[in-house]
Amino acid sequence: GEDVEQSLFLSVREGDSSVINCTYTDSSSTYLYWYKQEPGAGLQLLTYIFSNMDMKQDQRLTVLLNKKDKHLSLRIADTQTGDSAIYFCAEIFMEYGNKLVFGAGTILRVKS
Amino acid sequence: NAGVMQNPRHLVRRRGQEARLRCSPMKGHSHVYWYRQLPEEGLKFMVYLQKENIIDESGMPKERFSAEFPKEGPSILRIQQVVRGDSAAYFCASSPQVTGEQYFGPGTRLTVT
């Protein structure tokens, strides 16, 4: 089935690291994505990882992929108040194209 | 290169009216996806279109909903005889090719009164 799960809420202090976790279902997914959504806005593509990679780093963002456990995480270093948003992980189902299946989102709250 | 454009950004309809949501993909993108986000939920896939073709509509409700992506002009998501349960944010995404990343528009927030 198509089911992506995320923890619902994370609260961190400014300057700390944030780790947002996600489990996905399709072991054949080729790409896994992280999107950020600020209140009332659309989704911003943050980063993605190809399934043959274990880790990808992009400035303050680090994505870790454990294919055996179908577990994906997003680490944000030196979290800032501007990082407060909802973070969605998504996996691709490529039966007919790039259908993205999203988790319910993790609300990240950064306290100053 | 302008991003994905959607209009209107906010749309209010009374029950039974029709809603038309428009999406202009990024320049050079010929693949369009529509997703719906219900309050406090993630996005759910509705339909995938290429120019003049519906490729996958497995997420579309069987009745009242239709989508098109004509040769010229934006993609349209049409909801006939709207009901309160249709109130949601509708997002469009585009990609340059089948295996490309999807870039999302700002969404249309539909409220049915």
Question: pLDDT tens-digit profile of B84-105?
Answer: 999 999 999 999 876 678 899 9
Residue type, B81: Q
Q: Is B33–A105 a contact, with Cβ atoms under 8 angstroms apart?
A: no
Least confident range from A4-8, A76-80, B44-48, B86-90: namely: A4-8
Please compute, for residue A14, the number of CA atoms within 13 A of its CA located in the half-sphere on the CB side.
5
**A5 class by beta-carbon count within 10 Å (0-12 exposed, 13-18 middle, 19+ buried):** middle
pLDDT at B42: 84
pLDDT of residue B44: 94
pLDDT tier, A30 (very low <50, low <70, confident <90, very high otherwise)? confident
CA-nearest residue to A4 within chain B is B42
The widest CA-to-CA distance across chain B, in whole angstroms, is 39
Mean pLDDT score, A49-58: 91
CB contact under 8 A, A42 and B91: yes
pLDDT band at A26 (very low <50, low <70, confident <90, very high): confident
Give contacts of A4 with chain B, Cβ < 8 Å.
42
Mean pLDDT within A58-79 = 94
Nearest C-alpha in A relative to B5: A42
| For chain A, percent of residues with pLDDT exceeding 70 | 94
pLDDT at B98: 67
In chain A, residues 60-99 whose CB comes closer than 8 Å to chain B: 88, 94-99
C-alpha to C-alpha distance for A82 and A73, rounded to whole angstroms: 20
Provide the pLDDT for residue A92: 83
Q: In which band, very low, low, confident or very high, does the pLDDT at B75 lie, cut at 50, 70 and 90?
A: very high
Beta strand A55-58 pairing with A106-111: unpaired
Query: How many Å lie between the alpha carbon of A14 and the closest alpha carbon of chain B?
Result: 25
More confident residue, A58 or A94: A58
Question: What pLDDT, on the 0 to 100 scale, is given for residue B39?
Answer: 82
Residue A1 has pLDDT above 60, yes or no: no
Among positive and negative, which fits the CA dihedral A39, A40, A46, A49? positive
pLDDT band at A27 (very low <50, low <70, confident <90, very high): low
* Pairwise pLDDT comparison (B99 vs B72), residue with the higher score: B72
Q: What is the mean pLDDT of residues A5-17?
A: 95
Of the ranges A14-28, A85-99, B24-38, B85-99, which one carries the lowest mean pLDDT score?
A: A85-99
Which chain A residue lies closest to B4 (C-alpha atoms)? Answer: A42
